[in-house]
Amino acid sequence: MEKSPEKCVNIKNAAEMVGAKEWHIRRAVKAGLIPHYQPYNSRRLVKLSEVVAYIDSCRKGGVE
């Protein structure tokens, strides 16, 4: 069974899906902390899994 590629979403939709502020995601993309894609010189797109991975990597403290 072939796995389909993950869809890219715009930054606004990604922020809504993970419950973050749009400007937080934009700032992280601009700083190079979250990879982004600009196919055909269009708007910046991100993969939701990469946004979530970045957020998870910023975790401090707490119990696993």
pTM of the model: 0.84
Q: Residue 60: is its pLDDT beyond 90?
A: no
Domain segments of the chain as ranges: 8-57
State pLDDT tens for residues 13-59.
999 999 999 999 999 999 999 999 999 888 999 999 999 999 999 98
Q: Residue 1: is its pLDDT beyond 70?
A: no
For CA atoms 38, 39, 45, 50, give the dihedral sign: negative
